[in-house]
Amino acid sequence: MNIAVLSGKGGTGKTFISTNLANTIPNSTYLDCDVEEPNGRIFFNAKDEMKTETVYRMIPSIDKDKCNGCRACTEFCQFSALAFFGDSPMLFPEVCHSCGGCEKVCPTGAITEVKSSVGIVEVNKVADLKIVSGLLNIGEASSIPVINRVLSEIENTSIIDCPPGSACSTMESIKKADYCVLVTEPTIFGLHNLKMIVELVQLFKIPFGFVINKVEDPNNTMIEDYVKTLGKEVLIKVPFTKEIANKVASGMLISDSDSDLRDLFKSLLNKITEEIS
Ligand code: SF4
Ligand code: SF4
């Protein structure tokens, strides 16, 4: 079973929920697809990588000696990644989408595809938990190759910590999910962004449920009221306390030290399992 954990915006506690959920499941896999800011491994105190692998994408390389200046490649590229300077094209790799089209249209064989590093994937093991983290190189435009490499490590019960928001990287991260957990906080911004990820998971037709994090006021039913309009119930509500905030800020897993919260995360898995069985 693959459970993706999403949030409409950063700061809602998506990684807090993902790591603690993975921590309560025996032999699980935690996959950090938030590759621009992967910090889940900090909570598991994962120090020595079992495996580190560079992730590549293919970009064009131009042999000026073979180029006849026909401009077929620059006319073909829809991303303006190739521009003509002097008598041959120049590549702007940051905006190249690695589609391979320019190589196909080049009549002289002046363009070949070469590997370009986009990031790394690290695999760790702490006790019976497998931890996989993707890290995108600074300045890289597309995180998709790194996310795909992270997802290739899926095994057993897998918790996928998705990038925040509802952009392409989030869509890529949920494509292997059997269930999506939508994490939100009980604020107007939280509700607004929650609605965007609801539209996303409905589009992908993946079963989903809700977790409200940082609950301070039990009389604030803003999120529950919205969830009811979808004919659903909130899976769990996680309180916002000074103790939790301090432990998270110290890089600790709350499910290791608080038996009530550990039971709460176990109940989350049970509810998800019931929903999709
Ligand atoms: S691989 Fe595609 S996106 Fe990149 S330069 Fe060639 S045509 Fe443009
Ligand atoms: S398509 Fe090939 S030959 Fe034509 S301009 Fe581009 S690199 Fe040169």
First to last CA, the chain: 10
Burial class (CB in 10 A: 0-12, 13-18, 19+), 40: buried
What is residue 272's DSSP assignment?
Answer: H
Q: pLDDT tens digits, residue range 155-201?
A: 999 999 999 998 999 999 999 999 999 999 999 999 999 999 999 99
**Which of ligand 2's atoms lies nearest the C-alpha of 74?**
6
In the predicted structure, residue 21 carries a pLDDT above the cut 90 = yes
Domain boundaries, the chain: 2-55+138-276, 64-109
User: 97 alpha carbon to ligand 1 midpoint, in Å?
Assistant: 6
Average pLDDT on 125-135 reads: 94
Residues 6+ apart with CB under 8 A from 111: 60, 61, 62, 63, 73, 102, 103
Atom 8 (ligand 2) nearest CA:
67
With a 6 A CB cut-off, is 106 part of the ligand 2 pocket?
yes
In the predicted structure, residue 132 carries a pLDDT above the cut 80 = yes
Confidence of residue 142 (pLDDT cuts 50, 70, 90): confident
> pTM for this one?
0.89
With a 6 A CB cut-off, is 236 part of the ligand 2 pocket?
no
Q: Which of 100, 112, 138, 118 is nearest to 57 (CA)?
A: 118
> CA geometry: angle at 10 spanning 150 and 153, to 5°?
10
- pLDDT at res. 229: 97
With a 6 A CB cut-off, is 89 part of the ligand 1 pocket?
no
**Residue keyed to tokens 């915006």:** 9
Cα 166 to Cα 51, 182, 201, 251, distances in angstroms: 30, 11, 9, 26
Average pLDDT on 76-93 reads: 93
**Which of ligand 1's atoms lies nearest the C-alpha of 103?**
6
Calpha distance 135→170 (Å, rounded): 15
Burial class (CB in 10 A: 0-12, 13-18, 19+), 260: exposed
With a 6 A CB cut-off, is 269 part of the ligand 2 pocket?
no
- Could you confirm whether domain 64-109 is CATH 3.40.50.620? no
**Cβ proximity of 52 and 122 under 8 Å:** yes
User: 87 alpha carbon to ligand 2 midpoint, in Å?
Assistant: 10
Ligand that comes closest to the CA of residue 70: 2
How is domain 2-55+138-276 classified at the CATH fold level? Rossmann fold (3.40.50)
In the predicted structure, residue 50 carries a pLDDT above the cut 90 = no
Give, for ligand 2, the residue of 103, 105, 106, 113 to mutate: max count of ligand atoms closer than 8 Å to Cβ: 106
**Which of ligand 1's atoms lies nearest the C-alpha of 100?**
1
Work out the percent of the chain whose per-residue pLDDT is above 70. Answer: 99
**Cβ proximity of 15 and 34 under 8 Å:** yes
